[in-house]
Amino acid sequence: MGRAKGAIARGAVALLCVLIAGTSSLRADTTSERSSSILIFPKVMAITDGIHPTVDTVIQISNTSNSMVYAHCVYLNGAPLDPRFPPGAQNPPQCQEVDFTIFLTKQQPTHWVVSTGRRVEPSPTCNLNFSACDGAGIDPGAIPPMGDYFTGELRCVEVDSSGAPINGNHLKGEATIVVPDGDASKYNAVGLMGLNTGASSNNSDSTLCVGGGLSGDCPTGAEYNACPQTLILNQYAADASNPVIDELGGPNSAVRTELTLVPCTQDFENQVPGRGIVQFLIINEFEQLFSTSTTVTCWGNLDLSSRLYASFNAIFNEDFLGSRFAQTRMTPADPTQSGFVGVAEEFHVVPPGSPNFTRAAANLHGEGQRPSGDIIRLQGGF
């Protein structure tokens, strides 16, 4: 396993020299650890319809400042028009949005369950029953329930009391994906920090300039740090076995990975979903290179082990790669289209093909800045 990591690291260094020669900065501007002005939760699941496997998500958002903070939030439903069938050209994502606003007192954390939302309750009760504790704490405002089938993203932007965007950098967030048996996986929200120096400050209109330079949409330049030029995932090859289980003589195992990507550019005002082609460069343990690409519109959740899309997914399989571990580097194929942020979730299945699995989510590594920048358009009127 150490040799695998070493090979992948050497391959990454070599590719770094080739892919970004001549660039002035290698700094990734998104953060999963520091408070920010924009929070993106790439993978939000709420499926409680009794037909599909049940899964839900708990959202946590905290105000890290000593003053009142407001946030305008948007759910974007990326579920296919007909959830009974896989997404595709004939079954595109719904791309429907739901807006709401929350307010947090100084240093206040809050939480809610996506499927049920959160009502305003003047006197919430809490006891040892988890469901009775769900509304505890100071109410952040009414949060709408997303019903029995939602798969998509949540995006929250720090605003002032009038609803105008500001660069306060006071928001921190986490998402926990849970299933009925108690298994869960957790990741940090992707944060975009607001810029507060010189001309790069927020003019408080509904067009949010994420990285990039001067343009017609962004006459004063960037208002927020840029989305990364490259996303990096260190992973098991699809359907590879877990070496720890193998070493201990346990039952056969298999590891599959779901990769969730959302476009940085989203036009909520005109209801035009972000779209772009993602180029994948996969490096196996022997520093051999493989490539593929796919288009993400609105929201994409890619099961790298799925047999439904053999032309895309086969390249991630252990038999194809010839190694148990790999590193995947993702970049926009067209620099004029949207950048991406995302999250990965691993499922360790014992034995292969069974419903018995454990899950773990992980934030993707980011590298570099998108030179052309991205645009987020909110509903105007403030």
325 sits in which H/E element: strand 325-332
Q: Residue 335: which pLDDT band, with cuts at 50, 70 and 90?
A: confident
Q: Residue 23: which pLDDT band, with cuts at 50, 70 and 90?
A: very low
Amino acid at 202: N
Vertex 297: Cα angle to 206 and 210 (nearest 5)? 35
Chain position carrying tokens 């201990």: 248
Q: Do residues 15 and 281 make contact, with C-beta atoms less than 8 angstroms apart?
A: yes
Alpha helices in 216-258 (DSSP H): 243-247
Using the predicted structure, report yes or no on whether residue 256 has a pLDDT greater than 80.
yes
Chain position carrying tokens 């924009």: 38
Q: What is the pLDDT of residue 12?
A: 39
pLDDT (tens digit per residue) in 104-127:
999 999 999 999 999 887 665 555
Task: Dig out the tokens for 215 from the structure.
Answer: 């343009």
Residues 6+ away with beta carbon under 8 Å from 88: 80
Amino acid at 267: D
Q: What is the pLDDT of residue 22?
A: 34
Round the CA-based radius of gyration of the chain to a whole number and report it.
Answer: 21
pLDDT (tens digit per residue) in 37-51:
999 999 999 999 888
Amino acid at 374: D
pLDDT (tens digit per residue) in 86-103:
777 788 889 999 999 999
Using the predicted structure, report yes or no on whether residue 128 has a pLDDT greater than 90.
no
Torsion of CA 344, 345, 347, 353, to 10 degrees: -70
Using the predicted structure, report yes or no on whether residue 135 has a pLDDT greater than 80.
no
Three-class SS of 38-94: EEEEEEEEEECCCCCCCEEEEEEEEECCCCCEEEEEEEEECCECCCCCCCECCECEC
Rounded mean pLDDT of 334-363?
Answer: 87
User: Among 52-66, 254-268, 287-301, 350-364, where is mean pLDDT lowest?
Assistant: 350-364
Is pLDDT larger for residue 239 or for residue 230? 230
pTM of the predicted structure, to 2 decimals = 0.88
Residues 6+ away with beta carbon under 8 Å from 13: none
As a whole number, the mean pLDDT across the chain is 85
